[in-house]
Amino acid sequence: MHNKTLAEIIAGLNSGAFSSVEITGHLLNRIRQLDPQYNSFITVTAEAALASAEAADRQRASGNAPLFCGVPIAHKDIFCTNGVRTSCGSKMLDNFVPPYDATVVENFAQAGAVILGKTNMDEFAMGSSNETSYYGPVKNPWDVNCVPGGSSGGSAAALAARLTPGATATDTGGSIRQPAALCGVTGLKPTYGRVSRWGMVAFASSLDQAGPMARSAEDCALMLNAMASFDPRDSTSIDREVPDYTANLNQPLSSLKIGIPKEYFGEGLNPGTEQAVREALTEYEKQGATLVDISLPHSHLAVPAYYVIAPAEASANLSRFDGVRYGYRCEDPKDLRDLYMRTRGEGFGDEVKRRILVGAYCLSAGYYDAYYRKAQQVRHLIKQDFVDAFATVDVIMGPTSPSPAFAFGAKGDDPVAMYLEDVFTIATNLAGLPGMSLPCGFVDNRPVGLQIIGNYFDEGLMLNAAHQFQRATDWHQRAPEGLE
């Protein structure tokens, strides 16, 4: 039962082949037995999940069931959940229990979903390996000695281990796509503003975007149907009609023009990863798509621009964590200054402190123009590269990550090496474009991800391209040994 996709679960519940209580109980037992070795969940809401499943079964029996009625999923622990701890992977919020739901959580609740729990993550979504979590690192089910990617590593690992059929996640510089690639699952970052950020703990407000992770493109389309909405509480939410993302999944790809950026196939790309990606591109040619060589000339500036803009925004967003209103508070502060300093010093981890310091420096008097303003100018150039490319192609494809999953500690002493893990994903966040990753092969039994980048609000076309690839291949159906 744990091998069923979201689409198969919905069909099974509709036909009466099994109940929500049965599949929810099965997955909760699986989490209890297997997750201690993966650490993909921070909080498991077993009692509430079973109660929701029972209510869903009653609702379904009444003949009035929304699409996700009784379907179990998990939420990344960055989304506020009413009455359930929302830690954001940090000691700072270890005791924080929100009195409200994030819009994404609300939307799934209205669709009838059952929540299994909250998944582990890099602290405040800052990381590419899920090694910075206060609750310990998440382990990759394909190789427990390797990282699952980050920051949404808990959601990706839970999917790969077949502990949940779907999970929410967030992507600030690749945090949906990179862990999806390293764990062999499918993940989608929508266009900036397509999914509400209200109730999602902020890291970098102009970059953060919520999205779905699942085992197939079809499942991601189903989840995006539930997640996407206009939200007047979020000033960055786009007031635009939400299409049915499943409607065009089966369209042929005979007229599809795929841009291949030369900058994504150069130095630093693992040879095995490149081979898997090029074989995937050959499959698209077999289906009638046309490959077009393109250039994104400013892509090499994406990482340095991002690591000015994101820390700058983080330094502002995280200033709210001061020990006064909520979250961690140091013991017996002498005065307000001592309260602030010790609360933040004790509550934040090393990577969060590093980014706050970098961000505060970039925004300081005398350096704002040299760093932050310049980074925003570079951001405009990167966006223009994509605008020019999409004048001639429909989608852009290449590797999601430069290499498969790496060993724990391999990049811990070199933050720059860790930051370069997002070299192929960061540019889409800077431009606000949608992107997704889907499995396309293996290197030494570790998954490889193919990245698809679309034009603004072209999530449907991306999902169509991904679905057609997955109909012709079985990479997305493969499971780690012993977890089938």
Do 271 and 351 contact (CB within 8 A), yes or no? no
Per the structure block, which two tokens stand in for 99?
């009195």
Do 476 and 439 contact (CB within 8 A), yes or no? yes
Do 28 and 164 contact (CB within 8 A), yes or no? no
Active site residue 175: yes
Do 63 and 154 contact (CB within 8 A), yes or no? no
Catalytic residue selected from 20, 90, 151, 401: 151
| Distance between start and end Cα atoms, the chain | 10
| Residue 20 burial by Cβ neighbours in a 10 Å radius (0-12, 13-18, 19+) | buried
- CA–CA dist 477, 479 (Å, integer): 7
| Residue 53 burial by Cβ neighbours in a 10 Å radius (0-12, 13-18, 19+) | buried
Nearest by Cα to 467 from 66, 7, 2, 70: 7
State the DSSP code for 128.
S
Distances (CA, A) of 271 to 213, 279, 373, 399: 27, 12, 37, 11
Nearest by Cα to 225 from 312, 110, 310: 110
Active site residue 76: yes
Catalytic residue selected from 128, 129, 175, 237: 175
Do 156 and 180 contact (CB within 8 A), yes or no? yes
- CA–CA dist 38, 108 (Å, integer): 26
Residues with Cβ within 8 Å of 340's Cβ and at least 6 positions away in sequence, in order, are 322, 323
DSSP 347-404: HS-HHHHHHHHHHHHHHSTTTIIIIIIHHHHHHHHHHHHHHHHTTT-SEEEEESSSSS
Alpha helices, DSSP H, located in 256-369? 271-286, 302-317, 336-347, 350-363
| Residue 335 burial by Cβ neighbours in a 10 Å radius (0-12, 13-18, 19+) | exposed
Taking only Cα atoms into account, the Rg of the chain, rounded to an integer number of angstroms, comes to 21
Query: Cβ atoms within 10 A of the Cβ of 409, count?
Result: 12
Catalytic residue selected from 19, 20, 76, 152: 76
Any idea which residues carry the catalytic annotation?
A: 76, 151, 175
